[in-house]
């Protein structure tokens, strides 16, 4: 290497990713740890003033996966001090009956315009009229900030504008739910500060180089179900950052070693807060370095909006008729096995309630056991539209997307002031993503559960 990439990244050299990169306004993550030290005391005393035992986080993508990682960590280390319920779904069957008697809500959205977060806020605001039970985390000047101020939320956290969603775990987006869950923020951040940056930058360069030479798959081994959220967080930062311009890393999170296809390998430990802090910071560095090796801009997400736009048009009444191959559940294994040519990967995209997650990943594991020759990934939708959605539309044209949709999303749950209901919204999201993926040359099939 003619120059030291780690040093250049850490010094915030925004020319690394080319002249058109959005990096000049996206490198705030590099110094979030130092910034956070400044408001730690305030954050700690504020968190102690929260009386509720349940915190409901309404957010998508970067605003949901960081909180999931922190809460799962506190659960598996028996250090959780509150229950954190992250709702990053529009399937009403997963949250319509949630007990919110003793709950405070965090509406978390950098842009303050994400449809899922807004719909969820409107729904829960309809069930909890006290604005003091609501907290907002958002960029200054966002529509969410204006609304939260007007309605009198108990607190509005202002987030740094130069940090993108998937790089925001050490900003208020991760740390506010994290401290409420019981994470030792001081330990987490001081460990992150000691990350061996050279090691992770080298990892990123290797992942990029492997993809350049025809091995885009990255096996992410996370060893037990209670670490799944770390697998998902890692999947998001790699997929959404690198999956563009027909290139990219294709992360394949799973519990234990599998498959005979060629991959890069990543083992996620995160058994203690030190390893967790270093993994979270290190993977941001690795992602920035992988972007450099791949010759793409790791800080933009040019194709995420494509599905959102088609969804918006479907909801507005425009007729789209995606022609999708229909599958039955018991045909999926042979469907994949018949098509598992070298180089392809398969994604189960489940428009199912939050409670379906264990079943979905167990299903994926069974398929992966039966078919070793192709990577198989899974994600709950619409959550994954904000993590692997960019890769599915902008990355290599080797995806076979299998949508798992429901014909009936249960009793109608209307969204106040949005002129639609959750069942209609989630169906429109499935159609929007199917059409967007097809338009980008990916194969899409669908089954109904
Ligand atoms: O935080 P928000 O503005 O609501 O955005 C939520 C998510 O939206 C999009 O999908 C972006 O690609 C993600 O990076 C982001 O985390």
What's 234's domain CATH number?
3.40.50.10490
Question: Is 34 within the bounds of a domain?
Answer: no
Residue 121 has pLDDT above 90, yes or no: yes
What integer is the mean pLDDT of 359-365?
97
State pLDDT tens for residues 17-74: 999 999 999 999 999 999 988 899 999 999 999 999 999 999 999 999 999 999 999 9
**Does residue 44 share a domain with residue 24?**
no
Q: Which domain holds residue 254?
A: 2-29+190-294
Residue carrying structure tokens 């270093």 = 278
Q: What would the pLDDT profile of 183-230 be if each residue is shown by its tens digit?
A: 999 999 999 999 999 999 999 999 999 999 999 999 999 989 999 999
pTM: 0.97
- Give yes or no: residues 314 and 264 share one domain: no
386 CB under 6 A from ligand 1? yes
Q: How confident is the model at residue 3 (pLDDT cuts 50, 70, 90)?
A: low
| Class of residue 77 by CB neighbours under 10 A (exposed 0-12, middle 13-18, buried 19+) | middle
Q: Which of 247, 270, 294 is the last residue of a domain?
A: 294
299 is a domain residue:
no
Ligand 1 contact via 384 beta carbon (within 6 Å): no
Q: Are residues 207 and 321 in the same domain?
A: no
Distance from Cα 326 to the centre of ligand 1, integer Å: 31
The predicted pLDDT at position 343 comes to: 85
pLDDT at 2: 41
Question: Of 183, 212, 233, which one is at a domain's C-terminal end?
Answer: 183
Within a domain: residue 146?
yes
Q: Confirm or reject: Cβ of 111 under 6 Å from ligand 1.
A: yes
Residue 152 belongs to a domain: yes
Q: Are residues 52 and 17 in the same domain?
A: no
ipTM: 0.98
310 pLDDT more than 60 = yes
Cis ω on the peptide bond leading into residue 382 (within 30° of 0)? yes
Centre of ligand 1 from the C-alpha of residue 59, in Å: 8
Read off the pLDDT of each residue in 153-175 and give the average, rounded to a whole number: 98
Question: From residue 173, how far is each of 78, 163, 177 by CA, in Å?
Answer: 23, 11, 7
Phi, psi (rounded to 5 degrees) for 75: -65, -45
Task: Assess whether 209 and 152 both reside in one domain.
Answer: no
Residue of 139, 294, 283, 132 whose CA lies nearest to 222:
283
Helices 32-48, 172-181: inter-axial angle, 10-degree rounding? 40
Tens digits of residue pLDDT in 220-257: 999 899 999 999 999 999 999 999 999 999 999 999 98
Looking at the fold, whether 52 and 166 belong to one and the same domain comes out as yes
Is residue 61 domain-shared with residue 135, that is, in the same domain?
Answer: yes
Running DSSP on this structure, what letter comes out for residue 304? H
Which residues have C-beta within 8 Å of that of residue 128, sequence separation ≥ 6? Answer: 100, 103, 105, 134
Residue nearest (by alpha carbon) to ligand 1 atom 12:
386
| Segment 146-161, tens digit of pLDDT | 999 999 999 999 999 9
User: Which residue among 294, 313, 329 closes a domain?
Assistant: 294
Q: What is the mean pLDDT of residues 391-419?
A: 97
**Ligand 1 geometric centre to CA of 166 (Å):** 8
Q: Are 234 and 251 in contact (CB under 8 A)?
A: yes
- Ligand 1, atom 4, lies closest to the CA of 109
Residue nearest to atom 7 of ligand 1 (CA): 61
Count of domains in the chain?
A: 3
Q: Measuring CA to CA, which residue among 440, 37, 48 is closest to residue 246?
A: 440
> Can you tell me the distance from the alpha carbon of 286 to that of 274, in angstroms, rounded to the nearest whole number?
18
Ligand 1 atom nearest residue 64's Cα? 16
> 424 and 372, same structural domain?
yes
Confidence bin at 102 (pLDDT 50/70/90):
very high
Note whether 172 and 51 are same-domain residues. yes
């Amino acid at each position: 290497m003619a120059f030291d990439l780690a040093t250049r990244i850490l010094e915030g050299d925004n020319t690394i990713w080319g002249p058109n990169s959005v990096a000049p306004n996206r490198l705030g993550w590099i110094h979030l740890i130092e910034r956070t030290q400044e408001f730690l005391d305030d954050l700690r005393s504020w968190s102690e003033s929260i009386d509720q035992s349940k915190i409901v986080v309404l957010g998508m993508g970067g605003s949901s996966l960081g909180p999931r990682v922190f809460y799962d960590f506190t659960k598996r280390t028996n250090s959780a001090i509150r229950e954190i319920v992250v709702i990053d779904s529009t399937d009403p069957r997963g949250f319509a009956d949630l007990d919110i008697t003793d709950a405070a809500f965090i509406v978390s959205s950098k842009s303050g315009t994400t449809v899922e977060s807004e719909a969820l806020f409107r729904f829960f605001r309809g069930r909890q009229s006290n604005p003091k039970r609501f907290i907002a985390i958002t960029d200054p000047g966002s529509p969410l900030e204006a609304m939260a101020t007007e309605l009198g939320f108990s607190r509005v956290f202002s987030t740094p504008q130069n940090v993108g969603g998937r790089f925001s775990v050490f900003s208020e987006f991760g740390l506010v739910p994290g401290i409420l869950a019981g994470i030792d923020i001081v330990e987490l951040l001081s460990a992150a500060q000691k990350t061996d940056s050279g090691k992770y930058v080298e990892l990123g360069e290797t992942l990029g180089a492997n993809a350049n030479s025809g091995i885009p798959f990255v096996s992410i081994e996370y060893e037990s179900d209670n670490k799944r959220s770390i697998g998902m967080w890692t999947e998001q930062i790699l997929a959404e950052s690198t999956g563009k311009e027909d290139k990219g890393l294709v992360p394949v999170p799973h519990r234990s070693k599998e498959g005979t296809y060629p991959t890069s390998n990543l083992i996620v430990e995160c058994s203690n807060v030190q390893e967790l802090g270093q993994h979270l910071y290190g993977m941001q560095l690795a992602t920035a370095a992988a972007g450099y090796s791949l010759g793409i801009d790791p800080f933009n997400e040019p194709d995420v909006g494509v599905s959102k736009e088609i969804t918006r048009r479907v909801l507005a009444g425009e007729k789209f008729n995606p022609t999708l191959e229909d599958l039955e559940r018991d045909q999926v294994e042979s469907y994949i096995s018949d098509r598992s040519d070298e180089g392809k990967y398969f994604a189960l995209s489940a428009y199912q309630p939050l409670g379906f997650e264990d079943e979905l990943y167990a299903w994926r594991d069974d398929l992966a056991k039966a078919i070793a020759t192709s990577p198989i990934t899974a994600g709950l939708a619409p959550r994954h539209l904000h993590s692997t959605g960019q890769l599915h539309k902008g990355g290599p044209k080797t995806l076979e997307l299998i949508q798992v949709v429901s014909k009936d999303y249960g009793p109608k749950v209307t969204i106040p002031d949005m002129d639609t209901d959750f069942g209609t919204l989630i169906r429109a999201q499935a159609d929007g993503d199917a059409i967007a993926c097809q338009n980008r040359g990916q194969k899409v099939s669908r089954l109904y559960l």
